[in-house]
């Protein structure tokens, strides 16, 4: 690895000031499970001059429920989120997502803030020593469009750049399904609005903006949620497809539904058409199947990833039914 400066921030304001002072030439580090690998392999054209460590800031790892809101500090580890009694009781989709991310060792290190902000996993983008200067890195083409695209988007690329790399987070779709919001050092945004298709799936965060907390409203009566993930291995692997669902029932009918797929598009994909199919109806296997068909009705698979359409269809149906019915 190349030399870099390392700062232990004592406050969010200090961390933001350091990031601003380096003008895009510094990176935030918390768990470091993604960043250090990128630096070691030198996958990017530029190398950070400094790392700003957030783990020295007190209080950013707290998980607590108060005033009808679950508040999760951005530095809460995935392991602590998955095991927290409040999350397990009322936010099952998030507990399942955090518990299925990576391996036990990585869940003990990785943070929920880092998981939703992680970089893409495209093997052309991740080529060591910047081997492929792809569109995302300022080059002239997306190599995956005509190359090995087994795990790339089945819903098209970004609007401006054409990148078809998918967003890899497991917790992001669960947060979106549960109606979470993300608090930063500058603003509060809905989790669904944190990711930008225009920016090829990266977040809308500014260079000196830091996520401090995730807030999830207490589910209303009759709400249940679930998370499903398909990967080649149960441990370590990133998702080929994942899906999170939250359903609210009134009597025997679905009053509200939120369904989010991920690892199928450049950003987590809320499938509102599928939500509309089941709202107001009594849940049956046939209704869940109908919603699943709608969820993938506008898929545009590439040469080598048509199988992902069937996987996404199956996960949507199973995740809906896993909410009970």
Residue-level pLDDT at 233: 87
- The reply to whether 268 falls in a domain is yes
Residue-level pLDDT at 137: 87
- The reply to whether 288 falls in a domain is yes
- The reply to whether 132 falls in a domain is no
Q: List CB contacts of 196: < 8 A, sequence separation 6 or more.
A: 202, 203, 204, 267
- The reply to whether 206 falls in a domain is yes
Q: List CB contacts of 273: < 8 A, sequence separation 6 or more.
A: 294, 295, 297
Residue-level pLDDT at 240: 97
Residue-level pLDDT at 161: 62
List per-block mean pLDDT (blocks of 10 residues) for the chain, which spans 325 residues.
Answer: 95 97 95 93 94 97 97 98 98 98 95 95 94 88 94 85 90 98 98 82 88 97 97 90 97 96 96 98 97 97 98 98 86
Q: Are 152 and 164 in contact (CB under 8 A)?
A: yes
259 DSSP β-pair partners: 245
Closest CA to 117 of 64, 219, 41, 38: 38
- The reply to whether 42 falls in a domain is no
- The reply to whether 5 falls in a domain is no
| CATH number of the domain residue 70 falls in | 3.30.390.50
Q: List CB contacts of 73: < 8 A, sequence separation 6 or more.
A: 59, 60, 61, 62, 63, 212, 213
- The reply to whether 76 falls in a domain is yes
Q: For the chain, how many structural domains are there in total? A: 1
**172's tokens:** 């992001």
CA dist 76 and 64 (Å) reads 11
Q: Whole domain around residue 213: which residue ranges?
A: 63-117+167-322
Residue-level pLDDT at 1: 84
Closest CA to 15 of 215, 186, 195: 186
pLDDT digits (tens, 9 = 90+) for 65-109: 999 999 999 999 999 999 999 999 999 999 999 999 999 999 999
Residue-level pLDDT at 325: 53
**39's tokens:** 């630096």
Q: Are 296 and 290 in contact (CB under 8 A)?
A: no
- The reply to whether 220 falls in a domain is yes
């Amino acid at each position: 690895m190349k030399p870099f400066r390392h700062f232990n921030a004592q406050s969010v304001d200090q961390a933001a000031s350091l990031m601003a002072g380096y003008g895009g030439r510094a990176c935030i580090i918390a768990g470091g499970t993604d960043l250090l690998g990128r630096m070691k392999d030198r996958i990017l054209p530029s190398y950070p001059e400094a790392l700003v460590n957030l783990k020295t800031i007190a209080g950013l790892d707290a998980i607590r429920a108060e005033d009808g809101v679950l508040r999760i500090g951005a530095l809460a580890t995935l392991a602590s989120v998955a095991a927290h009694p409040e999350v397990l009781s009322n936010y099952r989709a998030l507990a399942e997502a955090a518990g299925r991310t990576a391996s036990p060792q990585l869940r003990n290190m990785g943070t929920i803030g880092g998981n939703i902000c992680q970089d893409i996993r495209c093997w052309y983008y991740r080529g060591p020593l910047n081997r492929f200067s792809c569109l995302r890195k300022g080059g002239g083409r997306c190599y995956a469009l005509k190359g090995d695209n087994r795990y790339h988007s089945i819903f098209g690329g970004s609007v401006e750049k054409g990148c078809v790399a998918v967003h890899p987070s497991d917790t992001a779709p669960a947060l979106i399904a549960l109606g979470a919001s993300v608090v930063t050092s500058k603003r509060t945004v809905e989790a669904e609005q944190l990711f930008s298709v225009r920016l090829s799936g990266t977040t809308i965060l500014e260079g000196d903006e830091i996520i401090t907390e995730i807030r999830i409203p207490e589910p209303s009566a009759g709400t249940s949620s679930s998370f499903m993930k398909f990967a080649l291995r149960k441990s370590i692997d990133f998702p080929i497809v994942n899906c999170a669902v939250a359903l609210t029932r009134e009597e025997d009918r679905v009053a509200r539904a939120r369904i989010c797929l991920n690892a199928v598009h450049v950003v987590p994909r809320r499938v509102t058409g599928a939500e509309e199919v089941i709202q107001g109806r009594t849940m049956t296997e046939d209704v869940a199947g109908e919603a699943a068909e709608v969820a993938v009705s506008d898929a545009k698979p590439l040469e080598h990833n048509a199988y992902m359409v069937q996987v996404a269809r199956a996960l949507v149906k199973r995740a809906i039914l896993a909410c009970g019915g």
